[in-house]
Structure 1
Amino acid sequence: MAKPMTKTQLVAALAEKMDADKKTAGAALDALTDIITSEVAEGGAVTLPGVGKFYCRERPERMVRNPATGQQIQKEADKQVKVTVAKALKDSVNS
């Protein structure tokens, strides 16, 4: 398995694709991250065509088990960030 791309490598690749400098590409990446974070935190969803959909799902209160002791405890309701991968990306990986 290949090593994951770092942010520095992603910024460099983005700058090359945009024909821009790394500072501009880094600012674009940071802006995109901020937009996705704020929208999902407010309960919305963001779809990146060809990549996937980022959204927040609320989980109800539930019983969980402590694996060390086996004790059952009540866990409060919480939120979980989910990502659904786009079919186009799945198809390109599997072809």
Structure 2
Amino acid sequence: MAKAMTKTQLIAALAEEMGTDKKSASAALDAVSNLITREVAGGGAVTIPGIGKFYCRERPERMVRNPATGEQFKKDADKVVKVTIAKALKDCVNE
């Protein structure tokens, strides 16, 4: 498996793709990140065509088990962020 791209590498690649400097690319990446975070935290969803859909899903109260001790306990209801990958990206990866 390939090593994950770091934020610095992503900014450099984005700057090259956009034909701009790294400062502008960093600002664009931060703006998109903040927008997705704010929208999903507020209960909405963000779809990026060709990439996927980011959304928040509520999980009900449930029984879970501590793997170290085997003890079962009740976990309160919570929210979790989900990402559904777009078909275009799946198809590209599986070529």
TM-score, length-scaled by structure 2: 0.97
1:81 aligned to 2:81? yes
Partner of 1:21: 21
Alignment RMSD: 0.6
Q: What letter corresponds to residue 21 of structure 1 in structure 2?
A: D
CA drift of 1:71 comes to: 1.5
TM-score by length of 1: 0.97
Distance 1:22 1:52 in 2: 25
1:68 equivalent in structure 2: 68
Q: Distance in 1 between matches of 2:24 and 2:9?
A: 14
Runs (5+) with no aligned partner, structure 1:
none
2:34 matched to which residue of 1? 34
**Structure 2: runs of 5 or more not aligned:** none
Shift of residue 68, structure 1, vs aligned partner? 1.8
Counterpart amino acid of 1:7?
A: K
Instruction: State the alpha-carbon separation in 1 of the partners of residues 39 and 50 from structure 2.
Output: 19
- Tell me the matched-pair count: 95
Deviation of 1:41 (Å): 0.4
Q: Show structure 1 runs of 4+ deviating over 3 A.
A: none
For 2:53, give the aligned amino acid.
K
